[in-house]
Structure 1
Amino acid sequence: MNMLLHELKAYRKSTIIWSFSLVMIIVLFMSFYPSFARDAEDFKKIMEGYPEAIRNAVGFNLGNFFTILGFYCFPLSFITLCGAIQAMNIGTSIVSKEVREKTADYLLTKPVTRTTILTAKLLAASISIVITNVVYIAAASIMVFQVKTGDFSFELFLMLSLTMFFIQLIFLAFGIVISVIVPKIKSVLTVSLAIVFAFYFVGMLSDTTGEDLKRYFSPFKYFDTAYIIKHSGYEASFLIAGAGIIILAIAASYVVYSKKDIHSV
């Protein structure tokens, strides 16, 4: 419990900053919605001038873009990107920070197993992400109700919002694997940004080609917002793929960390 609280305290500042940043982004974007709704036809004519592949890549769906939920999907794509960076950053630093700050050997002299250590760190990281999502969804809900111009399904809104949480779990798992495999990471943020943006651009490429198979190579495309709005649900195959990645990555992390040589200072 002491280890969990210590980790939570370590993540406190970054959790507050990320939560505040995501709230500011959604407030800024959703404040534009009333203007878009009033001039929907003019904006639609402008967007029709762009190739469909480009519209798909940046998250524009002309079929529902001018509804409150359709418009919400546009900033959600950027918010999800930010959330992925947060999760990847936390995951990558879980173990690597002990090596970087030269406290790994001290930590491992405590009368606890490596499994206990990694579990405490994983729980703290997960709690940090949950807090971020609760704060974000609460703020987004308030904002959506403030700017809506008609009725909408709040259940669908929650389903759309939770896609960020699911994607964050995937990137958290990626980060943990990297953290336990790579001997020493000098800059966690650099690694996190490189990996997250690589997956993001792979996802954009899959949109421009229209090939569903390529979507499996980018977690950002596991949750198609247009599909969620149309079918009121997630795509089962991508849910299974995401869950498989998380389970395999975390299991591999425990195996590697339990056998990893930790160099003393």
Structure 2
Amino acid sequence: MTLTKHELRQGWKILAIWTACIAFLVVICIVLFPEMKSEMDGVTDMFASMGSFTQAFGMDRLSFGTLIGFYAVECGNILGLGGAFFAAFTAIAALAKEEKDRTAEFLLAHPVSRVQIISEKLAAVMVQIVVMNAVIFGLSLACIAQVGEEIQWKELCLLHLAYFLLQIELAGICFGISAFLRRGGLGLGLGIAAIAYFLNIIANISEQAEFLKYITPFGYAEGADIVTNGCLDMTILLLGMLYAGIGIAAAYWKYSKKDIC
């Protein structure tokens, strides 16, 4: 696991910055909720009459007067989009950076197989995602308890599980793409995450575009669906894990036979 440890040492600052930024925004939302709680019923009514905008974010099915409803929309967007960007950012560079930084020859000169390189780099990406989600989840629970709100364990755990799996899916896809790149692809990775987010918004607005939920990982991480139904959509979730698996398999296939220069 030498390479995994090396990758983690290289990436810990970026991990700390992303985790701190996302956690800070989530904590601020939770801390502000008690002050805004008395005004939330009016906000809920206002959002309920905003047509397509309301449907885009599922606000027509949630009450802003409850912490879980407020959390699913406000914190959900922060966790979903922020986590997606981090996962894509980390995974898209995992394999490509060796050629970009001219360190591929040095790495491959060591007695390690390409399969081992791929496995250890993938492990480093996944460990970073796990650490970020564990820290944010823990801070969220602590803040909810601190402001005196009841913790709705089932809904909260399902929300965070969905965001975590969303990040795993995007990481798997971007990790696969990374094997095909030679000079890095930060813009491509962030673009994939952003497109996935907006595809879900389009699917929420238009019934004709609902099929897009089967393409984007945000389809099973929709806060309104999770809170309302009390479960994840397993069909979309399994498809998402399939996409992640295909991405990872593509990384092994391409990188194992890639002409690295």
TM class by shorter chain equals: over 0.9
Equivalent pairs, count: 259
Please give the root-mean-square deviation of Cα atoms over the aligned residues, in Å: 1.6
| Residue aligning to 1:172 | 171
- Aligned residue runs from structure 1 range 39-54, under 5 A: 39-51=39-51, 53-54=52-53
Distance 2:198 2:158 in 1: 24
Counterpart CA distance in 2 for 1:225 and 1:41 is 19
1:82-101 to structure 2, matched below 5 A, reads 82-101=82-101
Which residue does the alignment assign to 2:236? 238
**Which amino acid letter does the alignment assign opposite residue 132 of structure 1?**
M
Shift of 1:61: 3.6
Distance 1:38 1:134, change over 3 A: same
Structure 2 equivalent of residue 208 of structure 1: 205
Verify the 8 A CA contact 2:129 2:167 in the aligned structure 1.
yes
Instruction: Please give the TM-score of this superposition, normalised by the length of structure 2.
Output: 0.93
Q: Deviations over 1:1-36 (max 9, x none)?
A: 221111110111111111101110101112221133
Rounded to whole Å, the distance in 1 between the matches of 2:78 and 2:214 is 19
Q: Secondary structure at the match of 2:221?
A: coil
Instruction: Report SS of the residue matched to 1:39.
Output: helix
Q: Distance in 2 between matches of 1:61 and 1:18?
A: 31
- The runs of 5 or more residues in structure 1 that have no matched partner are none
Task: Tell me the distance in 2 between the aligned counterparts of 1:164 and 1:100.
Answer: 30
Q: Aligned residue for 2:27?
A: 27
* Corresponding residue to 1:218 among 210, 216, 220: 216
| 2:139 aligned partner | 139
Match of 2:13 in 1: 13
Aligned-pair CA distance for 1:70: 0.9
- % identity of equivalent residues: 26
| Separation of aligned partners in 1, 2:196 and 2:237 | 17
1:104–1:262 Cα contact (<8 Å) kept = yes
Contact 2:100 2:182 in 1 (8 A): no
Aligned to 2:193: 196
CA distance in 2, matches of 1:26, 1:217: 27
Provide the TM-score with structure 1 as the length reference: 0.92
Q: CA deviation at 1:62?
A: 4.5
